[in-house]
A and B are shown apart, each in its own frame.
Chain A
């Protein structure tokens, strides 16, 4: 008995030590990840804040070498392209989500669609850009904001489809049955009853998808490209947008002033995306706690 006891104690000590070490490493890893995020945000803020001014936000960008350019055209272009993507991508995504949740529960078609949507969610955005280039830019003989919108819409589509399905499935079946018992058609039940009661969830899904694609860059390189003009020819010509402006200024420009402008644009993009993201989360959470 006495011979075994010390050994056991050492075993326990080592096990506890291992446990402690892993706990410390976990906290350290978390710290590094969060510190990385804060570092990135701080860098963008520190470099970007100094160039922000009313002129910067209200003037269009200028060609290389011309001073005092702004980012107003790119800001408008980003809004136009994202809005276009929302208009193109959201309606079919909502309809498809309704189909999965209301008409295809447990069917083979449902499984196939769900699988394809999950796979599409993981598609590299650069490949989607290449695809839209082939189906839109080549036939239309030129880059356009519309092509950019289509690329972003393709990226949003599977995401919103799946969140819509998830949100609709959270609505209790008793609600469905009550509506059907009152004589509503399946379509009317789905749209007027189920979608309405899952509304805040649907809006959250859409907003998060919009936030995600509004910072996308790679697909826009192949579709909307870039321009110094105001985005008045959204349907037929290259359209200015913030992410590509950041890329251009940071990598292709030798001018210090344009590096600074790039940081300013980066700050605007980051604030836009994060504000959209955070406010959506807060609103959704409040709605849910309220229930």
Chain B
């Protein structure tokens, strides 16, 4: 009898309890996001009080005199990210295009290979960059670019370097974000109604024309979303950059210069950070967080718009 009673009363109550637990766990994501912002804000408060907003454009970095500026790190982050995107967007676009209507067997295998490229830990990219790519850049690629192609004449490109620096870091970043962007773009292309593509083929468009005039126009927001996903990864990538950027806190003057990014500065200086320097690092973290937040919000907005558009059809 008691057993019977239990089974009658309990479900409603356990149902409510379960619902609250589940809802609470879901809200936890929102809470974490808020906590992240608040905690970094609180931690960085001393730095903002001391340096004000001028911190963002300050160029000094002197732990002895306790003078810190964020410009070298911010400029480095923006430079590596922009360069990586310029290098990675065209191949990501064309590979996605090709993979969408590749022969099934080959397409499958190559898609899986790209996914694996994305699965390799970033510290491995960093180590490969440090021991393989840096010497290669120094001994072969940089001399080739400067002596044979004379690219050094272009302002900001740089003439000779030691292999470390922004170009090397951007190359690795490009390789890292390519599979991510390619995967998102692949999904966007697959979302294009086949009716549209078939109509284009029907009036005699070539594959490339269909791609650039129909598929790309249709999914432009999704493509932007994919680019922002790649952008977000490149912004916050730490290890791969840390290994090859050279870690000098100066504002970049050329692509071959050694420098730093926000993430690399954080990882590099945190061990010995104390007092105001720790607050400075929190401030840098906050800047990175806000940048990433902006990028992610844009990415989600564009991706959502693609979905919404599809819903209308």
Contact = CB atoms under 8 A, between A and B. Distances in A.
Contacts of B42: 134
B124 A247 contact: no
Nearest to A218: B238
A235 interface: no
A198 interface: no
A270 B40 contact: no
B25 A211 contact: no
B108 to A, nearest CB: 10
Contacts of A154: 32
Contacts of B178: 33
A182 interface: no
Contacts of A120: 29, 32-33
A246 B121 CA distance: 11
Contact of A103 (B22, B211, B266): B22
Interface residues of B, number: 87
Q: Max chain A CB contacts within 10 Å: which of B32, B127, B130?
A: B127
B1 interface: no
Interface string B5-39: 00000011011011101111111111011011001
A221 B273 CA distance: 13
A71 interface: no
Given A43-B128, A278-B116, A216 B121 contact: yes
Given A125-B236, A221-B267, A40 B120 contact: yes
A25 B94 contact: yes
A251 B131 CA distance: 10
Contact of B26 (A27, A30, A113, A122): A113
Contacts of A148: none
A23 B117 contact: no
Given A15-B209, A120-B32, A124-B292, A43 B117 contact: no
24 contacts: A22-B207, A22-B211, A23-B208, A32-B91, A37-B116, A44-B128, A99-B25, A100-B26, A113-B26, A113-B30, A123-B236, A124-B238, A131-B36, A135-B35, A158-B29, A186-B15, A186-B19, A191-B18, A215-B120, A216-B121, A217-B122, A250-B127, A269-B121, A273-B121
Interface of B: 11-12, 14-15, 17-19, 21-30, 32-33, 35-36, 39-40, 42-43, 90-91, 94-95, 97-99, 110, 112-117, 119-128, 130-132, 175, 178-179, 182, 206-209, 211, 229, 232-233, 235-239, 242-243, 263, 266-267, 270, 281-282, 285, 288-289, 292-293, 295-297, 299-300
